[in-house]
Amino acid sequence: MIPDNHPRYRSLVARERIADAVRSGIVVVEGASAHGRGEAFDYLLCEKTSESALLAEKTAAAYLMAADRAIISVNGNTAALAADEIRELAEASGAAVEVNLFHRTDERMAAITAHLKAAGVTVLEGTPERLLPLSHDRALCLRDGIGTADVVLVPLEDGDRCEALVAMGKTVITIDLNPLSRTAQTATVTIVDELTRALPNITRACRDMTPETGNQLVAAHDNTALLRAALRQIQETLADALD
Ligand code: ATP
Ligand code: MG
């Protein structure tokens, strides 16, 4: 048991969840490694939601609420860390949930779908088709899901797939603690914040959103400015440590 007064309690609980999910087959070993990269960046962000990340979260909510067909794409790490938060965001935003895996097997698809359903998430199901401009199984998604969505929220996404979704003309919102990753650099809206902090903030913003506020947020959106603000945050952490 991790004592709940430990200064890095949330981080340690998340790590334990990822380890459990590796053992149950929901997360692949590569996913555990990606989690570690996220932890390192979160340390540099002082494990806090910055002002610019909160603006990105509100902007994401604006795009989700204005979408004709919004989809939340869920992978193993996201399911393991945030099944409840995904349910709440899906309810608040009206977005549908599709399981989409980089390391896709039928067994993992089934295990993650069952895990989400146990948390009360309604999951899109059907026969996947090769609709993304990528080779092999990386191209698979549901026609009624990501295939025809205009707005896709893909937390912790791979750079190639993010680029492919953008190339299809979709609005891509990502949550990625690394502001330098290709995913962060190519998405329409990049939220540089930890998944379990970001999702409830987006949900709250969806609940509070008015069409006027939504239009203003979309009109003012500047992803380069958000990424630069995240990099400055990291720079400040390092500068403070050097003082
Ligand atoms: P890219 O392919 O986009 O250049 P990458 O190869 O560095 O990125 P991936 O393994 O494809 O990274 O994706 C994982 C990304 O998710 C990493 O950038 C990591 O920082 C981030 N990440 C991991 N865990 C979390 C988390 N809990 N919250 C937010 N971001 C996370
Ligand atoms: Mg990658």
ipTM of the complex: 0.96
Task: Pick the more confident residue, 138 or 61.
Answer: 61
44 pLDDT higher than 90: yes
Phi, psi of 155 (to 5 degrees): -70, 145
| Angstrom distance (rounded) from CA 85 to CA 203 | 8
| Angstrom distance (rounded) from CA 58 to CA 205 | 6
Percent of the chain exceeding pLDDT 70 equals 100
Structure tokens at 84: 């409840």
Contact 116, 90 (CB under 8 A): no
Can you give the pLDDT at residue 227?
98
The mean per-residue pLDDT over the stretch 188-199 comes to: 98
Structure tokens at 71: 């989809």
Can you give the pLDDT at residue 71?
98
7 pLDDT higher than 90: no
Can you give the pLDDT at residue 234?
98
Q: Does 178 sit in the ligand 1 pocket, CB within 6 Å?
A: yes
Residue 157 Cα to ligand 2 midpoint, Å, equals 8
Contact 192, 184 (CB under 8 A): yes
- Can you list the domains of the chain with their CATH numbers? 51-241 (3.40.50.12640)
Can you give the pLDDT at residue 8?
87
C-alpha to C-alpha distances, 15 to 22, 82, 90, 158, 176, nearest whole angstrom: 11, 13, 25, 20, 17
Q: Does 112 sit in the ligand 1 pocket, CB within 6 Å?
A: no
Ligand 1 atom nearest to CA at 180: 4
Nearest-CA residue for atom 22 of ligand 1: 38
Residue type, 206: C
Could you list the beta-strand ranges (E) of the chain.
70-74, 96-99, 129-130, 140-141, 151-155, 171-175, 189-191
Q: Does 232 sit in the ligand 1 pocket, CB within 6 Å?
A: no
Residue 206: how many CB atoms within 10 A of its CB?
Answer: 23
Can you give the pLDDT at residue 83?
98
Percent of the chain exceeding pLDDT 90 equals 93
Q: Does 37 sit in the ligand 1 pocket, CB within 6 Å?
A: yes
Residue 199 Cα to ligand 2 midpoint, Å, equals 21
Ligand nearest to the CA of 31: 1
1 pLDDT higher than 80: no
Residue type, 189: V
Structure tokens at 58: 């509100």
Contact 177, 64 (CB under 8 A): no
Can you give the pLDDT at residue 174?
98
Contact 91, 199 (CB under 8 A): no
Ligand 1 atom nearest to CA at 31: 10
In tens, the pLDDT along 75-89 reads 999 999 999 999 999
Q: Does 161 sit in the ligand 1 pocket, CB within 6 Å?
A: no
The chain-wide mean pLDDT, for the chain, equals: 96
Contact 95, 61 (CB under 8 A): no
Can you give the pLDDT at residue 2?
81
In tens, the pLDDT along 11-42 reads 999 999 999 999 999 999 999 999 999 999 99
In tens, the pLDDT along 210-224 reads 999 999 999 999 999
In tens, the pLDDT along 107-156 reads 999 999 999 999 999 999 999 999 999 998 899 999 999 999 999 999 99
